[in-house]
């Protein structure tokens, strides 16, 4: 697809698309935000069995019959190839070049001789959880070439599922409560240029994920979680555990004195 090298160009040509706000209830939360930062979203990459893909619906059909991903990876930011809102890369390049060091644990599920040399006619699915620190309205954005869509808490926030040149699609969500919410980002590429970037901000305009010109600051990279479980005990649990250890030590001292 045609390459737009500046965010200004996207605005001038009317390529910044906004969707209405959706409400995400507290019942969609998968639990409290963990004390530890997240390790990232799980990425699945699919080399589609087609020479022409024009929509997200078509890409989804090919994914369903693919038998599994061509490669998997983990990412703490969605910045492919980067997060400066001005760069896409030629799709006649490898997946590792598209990821550009912004993903880890890249593993192919096919033999080395079958590893695709380009990302033409492919799709990507990122799944996991996003941390919402407090209730309120949040704004999310997907910049992509070709199509991309965003779902959080079973609510579709952004739908940009048609084949298109570099485009920024935006949507808002009102969260009724803080917590971890399931997130799904789907993306497909036909041919030409390719790129995918995701960022979001809270009601004050401060970045919670990603980095972009319309977002204040650069967010920490720990807002994405691969699972909804926490590796650290809750503060109350930790307090009770410490109290139990102290009580056990006191009982042992009394026993020794009695002996």
For residue 126, give the CATH number of its domain. Answer: 2.60.120.380
- Secondary structure tally for the chain: helices H, strands E: 4, 16
Give the whole-angstrom CA distance, residue 168 versus residue 3: 13
At residue 89, the pLDDT reads: 87
At residue 213, the pLDDT reads: 79
**Residue 179 sits in the same domain as residue 237:** no
**Residue 175 sits in the same domain as residue 250:** no
pLDDT digits (tens, 9 = 90+) for 206-245: 999 998 878 899 898 899 999 997 543 343 433 333 444 4
**Residue 11 sits in the same domain as residue 110:** yes
**Residue 258 sits in the same domain as residue 139:** no
Give pTM, 2 decimals.
0.82
**Residue 139 sits in the same domain as residue 242:** no
Q: Is residue 2 part of a domain?
A: no
**Residue 249 sits in the same domain as residue 220:** no
* Residue carrying structure tokens 């599994």: 68
Helix H segments across the chain? 7-12, 56-64, 95-99, 235-258
CB 256 within 8 A of CB 249: no
**Residue 256 sits in the same domain as residue 138:** no
**Domain enclosing residue 171, as ranges:** 7-228
**Residue 240 sits in the same domain as residue 168:** no
At residue 247, the pLDDT reads: 45
**Residue 223 sits in the same domain as residue 246:** no
Count of structural domains, the chain: 2
**Residue 241 sits in the same domain as residue 169:** no
Region 138-162 average pLDDT = 92
């Amino acid at each position: 697809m045609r390459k737009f090298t500046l965010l200004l160009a996207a605005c001038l040509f009317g390529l910044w698309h906004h969707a209405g706000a959706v409400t995400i209830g507290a019942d969609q939360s998968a639990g409290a935000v963990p004390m530890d930062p997240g390790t990232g979203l799980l990425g699945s990459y699919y080399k589609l069995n087609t020479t022409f893909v024009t929509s997200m619906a078509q890409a989804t059909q090919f994914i369903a019959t693919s038998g599994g991903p061509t490669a998997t990876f983990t990412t703490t930011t969605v910045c492919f190839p980067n997060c400066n809102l001005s760069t896409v890369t030629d799709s006649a390049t490898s997946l590792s070049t598209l990821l550009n060091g912004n993903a880890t644990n890249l593993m192919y599920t096919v033999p080395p001789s079958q590893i695709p040399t380009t990302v033409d006619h492919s799709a990507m699915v990122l799944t996991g959880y996003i941390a919402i620190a407090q209730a309120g309205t949040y704004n999310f954005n997907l910049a992509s070439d070709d199509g991309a869509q965003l779902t959080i808490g079973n609510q579709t926030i952004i739908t940009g599922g048609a084949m298109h040149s570099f485009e920024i699609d935006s949507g808002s969500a009102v969260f009724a409560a803080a917590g971890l919410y399931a997130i799904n980002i789907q993306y497909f590429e036909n041919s030409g240029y390719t790129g995918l970037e995701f960022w979001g901000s809270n009601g004050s305009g401060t970045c919670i994920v990603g980095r972009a010109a319309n977002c204040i600051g650069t967010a920490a990279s720990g807002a994405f979680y691969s699972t909804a479980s926490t590796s650290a005990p809750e503060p109350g649990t930790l307090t009770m555990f410490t109290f139990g250890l102290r009580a056990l030590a006191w009982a042992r001292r009394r026993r020794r004195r009695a002996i």
